[in-house]
Homo-oligomer: A and B are copies of this chain.
Amino acid sequence: MPFFKFEIIHQSKKSRARVGRLHTPHGIIDTPNFVGVGTNGTLKALDNKTVHEIGLQLMFCNTYHLMLQPGTEIIKQAGGIHSFANRTMPIITDSGGFQVFSLAYGGVASEIKSKGTKKRDGSVLKITEDGVTFRSYRDGQKILLTPERSIQAQKDIGADIMISFDELPPYHISPRKLKESFERTHRWEERSLNEHLKNVNNQALYAVIHGGIDPELRKKSCEILTNMPFDGYSIGGSVGKNLQEMIIMLEATMPHLPTEKPNHLLGIGDIASLEASIPLGIDTFDSSHPTKAARHGLLFTKKGTVRIVKSGNATQLRPIEDDCTCFTCQNYTLAYLCHLFKANELTAFTLATIHNLHFMVQLMKNYREQILRDQV
């Protein structure tokens, strides 16, 4: 049996949505599914045993951060990230490229808002055909990241799914520069694949579909990359400045991806985006939104987001949601959580994160059930 296999359980009759099952060396990921972000090998404010209990099937770790701290050598020595972080369920890593560019631009949203006036902060020193040279935010060291080095780092980390090394062009870019970046990115992805195939190591490799919000470029990217033996396809680059642009882009892209292979939408996981893109056939989504929102006291419920420190909650001696089966709702009340947030107790972050993550796991389970009934 192959170490990585994607099974389609049901194709909705109503949309491109499908229920699938990704088999990996560390177990199954039911799709569509939400992928929690555990940048440094842990979801913020939770430990991996707790995450296991919540049932989050796939965790996203960031190669860029792990390369700089603790370094990939100790992770390799530990036998890979699963053993190092004591997570028995599947893990996906990115290539590091996104963070190098994103930190330089001050984040995707910030770059979009700046209308192109926000320039690199000096941490990206040089982009050549070989790769990108950047300065470590930890110790100022110069680091050259190439497709080959990214894949080697991801091999040391040992995630079940890796992502090929790409360039993240800013949203505001001239057509000539975009074309240059587009062509280079696809050469980098091919080099990533070649490096990966030297030593597959029971890991899967996803390509990154590029082309910004240009439907022709997205189509071309799909054509180039689906002609190479990648295990799956992630959708990256600029996905537009709002939900509408993203949906238009996905509608132009998805028909050009092979339905028999899994796909992943990079860095998107807010509830509105999930609702809009699951019918377009997206299998997995990663986002730090649910965990970050939790630490800001924003709790997800079926009736919408609740701001925990809102005055009314201080006297509510009931759980966040009466029928919620998460550890937090089973043990603590809104009044107590509100108190912990107001008293700045770290415990509040943990309990809120457990709730939001559980919410996401249940939400995706509900989507899968709806797709099985052709309701989505």
Task: List the interface of chain A (C-beta within 8 A of B).
Answer: 40-49, 65, 69-70, 74, 77-78, 84-86, 314-315, 317, 327, 331-333, 335-336, 338-340, 342-343, 345-347, 349-351
- Per assembly, the copies of the chain total 2
Q: A41-B339, A78-B333, A335-B84 are in contact. Are A314 and B47 (CB under 8 A)?
A: no
With both beta carbons as reference points, the residue of chain B lying nearest to A70 in the complex is identified as B339
Given contacts A40-B339, A340-B40, A347 and B45 within 8 Å (CB-CB): yes
Report how far A48 CA is from B337 CA in the complex, Å: 12
What is the minimal beta-carbon distance from A163 to any residue of chain B, in angstroms?
21
Contact A345 B315 (CB under 8 A): no
Cα A233 to Cα B65 with chains together (Å): 53
Closest partner residue, chain B, to A46 (CB atom): B347
A77–B47 CB distance below 8 A: no
Query: Can you list 18 A-B pairs with a CB-CB distance of less than 8 A?
Result: A40-B339, A40-B340, A40-B343, A41-B336, A42-B345, A43-B347, A44-B346, A47-B347, A47-B350, A47-B351, A69-B342, A70-B339, A74-B317, A77-B317, A78-B317, A78-B333, A84-B333, A346-B350
Contact A74 B335 (CB under 8 A): yes
Q: Of the candidates B44, B86, B335, B351, which one forms a contact with A345 in the assembled complex, judged by CB atoms under 8 Å apart? A: B44
Cα A254 to Cα B77 with chains together (Å): 55
B residues within 8 A CB of A315? 74, 77
With a cutoff of 8 Å between Cβ atoms, the chain B residues found around residue A43 in the complex are: 347
Assembly CA distance A275 to B40 (angstroms): 39
Seed contacts A49-B331, A74-B317, A86-B336; 16 additional CB < 8 Å A-B pairs? A40-B340, A41-B336, A41-B339, A42-B345, A42-B347, A47-B331, A47-B351, A65-B343, A69-B342, A70-B314, A70-B338, A74-B335, A74-B339, A78-B333, A78-B335, A350-B350
